[in-house]
Structure formats: C-alpha cells, structure tokens
Amino acid sequence: MSSDILLRFAYAIGIIFLGVGAYWLLSQRLLARAGNNINSLLSPLPNKPTIVYFTTPDCAPCKTVQRPALEKLASLLGEKLHVIEIDATERPDLAKTWGVMSVPTTFLLNARGEARYVNNGVTRAEKLMEQILTL
C-alpha cells in the first residue's frame, strides 16, 4: 500500500515538473519570437522600458483588471514607461507573429528593445512593477 502511494506521488511530481518545463519552454519561444519582431512594431525604439499589451474589445478581464493595472503603472512611472496597446482583432497578423494565443498578453521589453518577460493572462500591477524594476 505505501509503495503504491509513493509511486503515485512520484508520478504526480513528474507531471508537475513536465508542466512547468513545458510552460518555461513556451515562454522562451514567445520571447524569442517577440525579439525577432520588435522592428515591425517599434521604429525607432523609445529607449525606455516598454509594455506591449495585446487585447480585444470584448475581453472582460482586460477591461476590469489588466487595463487598470497598466494605467496605474503609467501614472506611477510617467515618462519612464512606454505602453503600446494592440487590438488583436484589428491586427491578427501581428498577434500571430508575436505568438499571442490568448488575451490579455503582455510583453515587457527593456530599454534596448529586448523582450525580457511575457505574461499570458491577467497580470497585476505589482507583478508588472517587479518585472520592470528587474529590467
């Protein structure tokens, strides 16, 4: 009985590690795609941290959580932050090029225009601020 429990526990841990690894690989792939496509979006580079925010008009979490979080950051950082909002329904080619699979999706670019973080789904202002401070 106890060996059966240990075996199930080992399977569960293995599945968790596989999931975390798959998510990490996907994030790295999205960052690489974003890095290759920055010139299609930013010309010239703003020389400050930039958030590229993909949304749609009917996205409820975008309106209720993500946009207020970005507005809070913009008010706190002022001219030190550049925010680009992209409607994925109007620019599906750009969303596909950047590898956006769901909205909201935010990419954080450093001052040199290198993609450093990708957040799939809603991201709170505190986490975005943490990420910006590490750029």
Task: Give the start-to-end residue ranges of the domains of the chain.
Answer: 2-133
CATH, domain range 2-133: 3.40.30.10
Tens digit of each residue's pLDDT (9 = 90 or more) over 47-58? 899 999 999 999
Measured CA angle at 57 (ends 56, 58), to 5 deg: 95
Residue 34: what pLDDT?
A: 82
Mean pLDDT of 71-89: 94
Q: At 42, is the pLDDT very low, low, confident or very high (cuts 50, 70, 90)? A: low
pLDDT score of 120: 93
Contact assessment for residue 51 and residue 106, using Cβ atoms and an 8 Å cutoff: yes
High-pLDDT (> 70) share of the chain, %:
97
Q: Residue 116 phi/psi, 5° resolution?
A: -110, -30
